[in-house]
Chain A
Amino acid sequence: MINFLILISLIVVLITLSQIIRIFEISNKIKNSRESDITYKDNDRQGKLLLTFGFLFIASFFLMNAKWTKSLLPISASEHGHEIDLLMNISLGLIIIVFLILQPVLFYFSYKYRGVKNRKALFITHNNKAEIIWTIIPGIVLTVLIIYGLQTWSKVMDRSNIDDALVIEVYGRQFDWTARYAGEDNFLGNANVRFISDANILGVISNDSYKSQIFNINKKIDKLKNQISGEKNYIKKNQLSKRYEKMISKKLRFSTLKEKTPKDLLKAADDDIVVREIHLPVNKKIHMKFRAQDVIHSAYMPHFRVQMNCVPGMNTDFVFRPTLTTEEMRKEVKNEDFDYVLLCNKVCGGAHYNMQIKIIVESEEKFNQWISGQTKFALSYLN
């Protein structure tokens, strides 16, 4: 019923509109002019409207700034973030200046030169001097921006002094994050998706995880062996032996994966610590490494001005130094409940919008206290 009413009213509106247009056209005919002709009155009206729009546009820009800048990200919580912010502010300032010059000029010209009777436009085809000037000036400004930008970029991406940095791996999968600390040796053990199990969600390769995978496979192989010998049906038997062969080659793959991993790397995994919450010691350099299990994710930590894609089959990383603890940031933003987060910023499926992990920045003592309370990877295989 309601749909029907909507339909009816839509039709009525359409009919009214076309009648109004008809009336306009007939009245124009009587005046011996054409509706589509642009009159000087039109020019005057539209010119004034353009000027008004230009004015309101700029005014609303200032209004938005006044109302919304407080909702933007707070000051950077990392060292390099300040460099980025400075560059950002300079660049934003620059483009805002250009914006505030060019938009008013555009709308002012539109108004000023609106068509009037008996004026002829100026016939000018080009002016080399002016054109050279407005090629060179942007050229100079851009050169400065490029040089400054690249300097900042190479500082941010600098990997030369990272031996003393705390190594943390962040691992993304649909739809959550897991972190792994490198432990006392500050060295992460290797990992591969084929080692993933309920007890080892990151697929870390260690002596224990290898043994447990092989144990499981052997169990399956034994079971298959029994089944095959007990099976009379030829077709079924055939199927089972195919599965059996698959299991054997799987076992082989595991062994090669393990053999490819150097002995000390197998050990390196033992003191790794797998957790579901990221803790960072303040003022310490962090070397964060990223991996993904299934599709591309992106580890985005807006408060630290850090973002890096996590790509399956590839290792990526980012180095930064947090400078504000969670407590300090809470004071800064005047919000008792504030917490840093790492969120996913590369579309990865249905729950992409809710793929997050909490980050806590705290003093070194607190951090050490926390980490010593966590279970080491090797120990998780004991029980």
Chain B
Amino acid sequence: MSENHNHSENFFSKYIFSIDHKMIAKQFLITGMTMGIIAMVMSALFRLQLANPGEPNQILSFFLGDWAQGGVMDPNMYLALVTIHGTLMVFFLLTGGLSGTFANLLIPLQIGARDMASGFINALSYWFFFLSSIIMLSSLFVESGPASGGWTIYPPLSAVPQAMPGSGLGMTLWLISMTLFIVSSLLGGLNYIVTILNLRTKGMTMARMPLTMWAIFMTAILGVLSFPVLVSAVLLLVFDRSFGTSFYLSDIMIQGEVLANSGGSPVLFEHLFWFLGHPEVYIVLLPALGITSEVIATNSRKPIFGYRAMVGSIFAIGFLSFIVWAHHMFISGMSPFLGSVFTFTTLLIAIPSAVKAFNYLATLWKGNLQFTPAMLFSIGLVSTFITGGLTGLILGDSALDINVHDTYFVVGHFHIVMGLSATFGAFAGIYHWFPKMYGRMMNKTLGYIHFWLTIVCAYGVFFPMHYLGLAGLPRRYYSNTAFPMFDDLVNINSVVTFFAATAAIVQLIFLFNFIYSIFRGERAVMNPWKSNTLEWTTPVERIHGNWPGKIPQVYRWAYDYSKPGSEKDFIPQNIPLKSDESESL
């Protein structure tokens, strides 16, 4: 472990091949944000297509060139955009980007370690992530187009190159990119687990860890257990594509040609994919919930309500998330009995989720709320978590899923519960820990404006989608004009597109604030939010090894806010108990 030594650093060792966890966190953040922005522009483009299908649109031809000849989008390009949008958002922004940023930044700082267990593996994890990002983006420039079979890449559509243009080279690149991405996730995840288990400072028992740490810990475990299954699914798919095996293929005729494959089953792929896919949504969500727990407690000036129940529900969610995957497959043709089992387990997951929501509300209750932009985004997260969680009860019920499966109801549901909650959590984390990353503050007023416009637009985009779904509108449709029964929905669709375009533009405010503050933001003080956790005992200068002297020792949990008997309304974790003081938990 490196003590605080000042070895000389050049540009490369400091910014590019750094093994300092704080720098790696920033690398993840910037890469993730770039991918998020690209994905967001894509969503604005395909929403434009949905708003006026078939009408020439200069914006489309500007961005898409030959893919939108004369300003009219090609149907295959629509599917390509949707696929890459989903992939970038779920994997690159909200898995790699979000976990990578906050796990790397916060683990050593919050548990009191000089760095991650292995700085090298950590850097390696970033470089795999970077490489996979580059490959994924390069697939956008392939002549036949990027992967287009949806982010779930169900075979045979994804397995047979003749099935659609995107299933050729684009799909190959997708598979290579995702394999590298998984390597990155596994390297990162193992490092996080090992660090949390082994490098906690004196006094930092597991039971005293901030909830952020618990959430990240669980996230890493989920990733390490589920991503390998996706690797195998992907590898078998590669075999089917390139070496003539038949894991997923049987009795297929495509473009007038009978394929030799027989005996395989696409449903096998669905099982393997969703065995990762469902834990994946919690991989996306848990870090955001962890961040929110921290931000809400700090800014309510109040202990998080029910710490033990919060930890317990993280574990319950983690465990249950492994036995619900087939709720994505109620109508895939699997046995109805399995459907019953998975309905049961799925609806069970609502209980720990409800506990979390209630505990957030109870934390706000009788608090003394300080509305930092981070706090606003956290409150936004609680709101979206409640809204989206509730519609999950509909989708988890196999009988109800029959008629809303793969409709816009699903798109509305998962964007609110996963997309919005996780992005709000990410925003909260960035506003909250920006001073730890860059030694400066982000502009508060711009933060407020950003929050208000974002939450209004976000609900404006995704809430109406539930009505579209209940009207029977399928997702992944290039245009809704082929069915008279959807003509009525034009109004709803224009509302959605209006807010989607606005939402995309509004993010420029955030981007500006972010970049501006890196260079010219107000200088940070050591503990700007008057928080209890250890990261706020490190100097603003963000040195190698984190603490100039000895690592502080921990004497209490992270949530002694407004504790009676203390003048100040917070007692950092490194302050010893007074002689007459008892530990809060």
Known: A103-B383, A121-B302, A313-B252. A347 touches B150 (CB 8 A): yes
Known: A102-B386, A350-B79. A35 touches B369 (CB 8 A): no
> How far apart are the CA atoms of A215 and B65 in the complex, in Å?
50
Identify which of A84-92, A179-187, A230-238 touches chain B. Answer: A84-92
Contact B307 A312 (CB under 8 A): no
Contact B154 A296 (CB under 8 A): yes
Minimum CB distance partner of A191 in chain B: B251
- Interface digits, B474-511 against A, CB 8 Å rule (1 contact, 0 not)? 10111110111100110110000000000000000000
Minimum CB distance partner of B75 in chain A: A350
Contact B366 A71 (CB under 8 A): no
Contact B351 A138 (CB under 8 A): yes
Minimum CB distance partner of A340 in chain B: B485
> What 9 pairs between A and B have smallest CB-CB spacing?
A313-B250, A302-B472, A46-B371, A316-B333, A36-B441, A157-B336, A122-B366, A95-B390, A354-B482
- Interface digits, B507-527 against A, CB 8 Å rule (1 contact, 0 not)? 000001000100010100000
> How far apart are the CA atoms of A152 and B397 in the complex, in Å?
10
* Closest CB in chain A relative to B378 CB, distance in Å: 10
* Closest CB in chain A relative to B78 CB, distance in Å: 8
Q: Does B563 contact A (CB under 8 A)?
A: yes
Per a CB cutoff under 8 Å, which of A25, A73, A193 touches B251? A193
Per a CB cutoff under 8 Å, which of A102, A150, A311 touches B357? A102
Contact B252 A294 (CB under 8 A): yes
> How far apart are the CA atoms of A353 and B355 in the complex, in Å?
41
- Interface digits, B393-406 against A, CB 8 Å rule (1 contact, 0 not)? 11001111011011
> How far apart are the CA atoms of A118 and B482 in the complex, in Å?
63
Q: Which of A75-101 contact B (CB under 8 A)?
A: 81, 83-84, 87-88, 91-92, 94-95, 98-99
Identify which of B21-29, B419-427, B445-453 touches chain A. Answer: B445-453
Per a CB cutoff under 8 Å, which of B156, B390, B397 touches A149? B397
Known: A21-B516, A102-B357, A308-B331. A150 touches B407 (CB 8 A): no
Contact A124 B303 (CB under 8 A): yes
Known: A43-B371, A72-B467, A120-B569. A105 touches B303 (CB 8 A): no
Q: Does A227 contact B (CB under 8 A)?
A: no
Q: Does B387 contact A (CB under 8 A)?
A: yes
Identify which of B103-111, B129-137, B283-291, B337-345 touches chain A. Answer: B337-345
Contact A110 B253 (CB under 8 A): no
Contact B402 A356 (CB under 8 A): no
* Closest CB in chain B relative to A204 CB, distance in Å: 14
Per a CB cutoff under 8 Å, which of A53, A150, A305 touches B455? A53
Per a CB cutoff under 8 Å, which of A122, A296, A307 touches B562? A122
> How far apart are the CA atoms of A148 and B294 in the complex, in Å?
38
Contact B306 A131 (CB under 8 A): yes
Identify which of B118-126, B207-215, B216-224, B258-266 touches chain A. Answer: B258-266
Contact A64 B370 (CB under 8 A): no
Contact A337 B350 (CB under 8 A): no
Identify which of B7-15, B38-46, B157-165, B179-187 touches chain A. Answer: B157-165
Contact B406 A36 (CB under 8 A): no
Per a CB cutoff under 8 Å, which of A149, A192, A351 touches B343? A149
Q: Which of A175-215 contact B (CB under 8 A)?
A: 192-194, 196, 203
Q: Does A370 contact B (CB under 8 A)?
A: no
Per a CB cutoff under 8 Å, which of B344, B393, B562 touches A121? B562
Contact B351 A142 (CB under 8 A): yes
Contacts of A47 in B (CB 8 A): 369, 371
* Closest CB in chain A relative to B51 CB, distance in Å: 15
> How far apart are the CA atoms of A99 and B389 in the complex, in Å?
10
Contact A312 B266 (CB under 8 A): yes
Contacts of A152 in B (CB 8 A): 399
Contact B368 A113 (CB under 8 A): yes
Contacts of B448 in A (CB 8 A): 46
Q: Does A154 contact B (CB under 8 A)?
A: yes
Contact A196 B253 (CB under 8 A): yes
Per a CB cutoff under 8 Å, which of B250, B253, B477, B491 touches A353? B477
Per a CB cutoff under 8 Å, which of B361, B477, B520 touches A109? B361
Per a CB cutoff under 8 Å, which of A17, A150, A192 touches B340? A150
Interface residues in chain A, defined as those with a beta carbon under 8 Å from any beta carbon in chain B: 14, 17-18, 21, 24-25, 34-36, 38, 42-43, 46-47, 49-50, 53, 57, 61, 64, 67-69, 71-73, 81, 83-84, 87-88, 91-92, 94-95, 98-99, 102-103, 105-107, 109-110, 113-116, 119-127, 130-131, 134-135, 138-139, 142, 145-146, 149-150, 152-154, 156-157, 173-174, 192-194, 196, 203, 293-296, 298, 300, 302-303, 305-309, 311-316, 337-339, 341, 343-354, 356
> How far apart are the CA atoms of A47 and B445 in the complex, in Å?
15
Known: A91-B400, A345-B406. A125 touches B585 (CB 8 A): yes
Most chain-A Cβ atoms within 10 A of its Cβ — which of B264, B370, B452?
A: B370
Contact A193 B258 (CB under 8 A): yes
Q: Does B559 contact A (CB under 8 A)?
A: yes
Contacts of B76 in A (CB 8 A): 349-350
Contact A119 B368 (CB under 8 A): yes
Interface residues in chain B, defined as those with a beta carbon under 8 Å from any beta carbon in chain A: 74-76, 79, 149-150, 154, 156-157, 160, 163-165, 249-254, 258, 262-267, 300-303, 305-309, 331-333, 336, 339-340, 343-344, 347-348, 350-351, 354-355, 357-359, 361-362, 364-372, 376, 379, 382-383, 386-387, 390-391, 393-394, 397-400, 402-403, 405-407, 441-446, 448, 452, 455-456, 459, 463-464, 467, 470-472, 474, 476-480, 482-485, 488-489, 491-492, 512, 516, 520, 522, 528, 559, 561-564, 569, 584-585
> How far apart are the CA atoms of A91 and B398 in the complex, in Å?
13
Contact A87 B400 (CB under 8 A): yes
Contacts of A105 in B (CB 8 A): 361
Contact A134 B354 (CB under 8 A): yes
Per a CB cutoff under 8 Å, which of B258, B305, B483 touches A125? B305
Known: A350-B79, A356-B482. A68 touches B400 (CB 8 A): no
> How far apart are the CA atoms of A368 and B187 in the complex, in Å?
66
Per a CB cutoff under 8 Å, which of A35, A142, A295 touches B350? A142
Contacts of A149 in B (CB 8 A): 343, 347, 397-400
Contact A98 B390 (CB under 8 A): yes
Known: A121-B561, A341-B485. A192 touches B443 (CB 8 A): no
Most chain-B Cβ atoms within 10 A of its Cβ — which of A35, A36, A61, A69?
A: A36
Most chain-B Cβ atoms within 10 A of its Cβ — which of A91, A92, A122?
A: A122
Contacts of B391 in A (CB 8 A): 95
Contact A87 B303 (CB under 8 A): no
Contact A349 B157 (CB under 8 A): yes
15 pairs from A and B in contact (CB 8 Å cutoff): A36-B522, A49-B452, A57-B459, A84-B402, A87-B397, A91-B397, A110-B379, A121-B561, A139-B351, A203-B253, A293-B253, A295-B163, A305-B402, A305-B403, A345-B407
Contact A38 B371 (CB under 8 A): yes
Contact A146 B344 (CB under 8 A): yes
Contacts of A91 in B (CB 8 A): 393-394, 397, 400
Per a CB cutoff under 8 Å, which of B371, B397, B528 touches A115? B371
Per a CB cutoff under 8 Å, which of A46, A95, A352 touches B376? A46
Contact A351 B75 (CB under 8 A): yes
> How far apart are the CA atoms of A338 and B483 in the complex, in Å?
10
- 8 new A-B contacts, CB < 8 A, other than A294-B252, A347-B149, are A73-B470, A99-B390, A126-B585, A145-B347, A293-B253, A305-B402, A307-B406, A311-B266
Contact B467 A68 (CB under 8 A): yes
Contact A142 B348 (CB under 8 A): yes
Contacts of A138 in B (CB 8 A): 350-351, 354-355
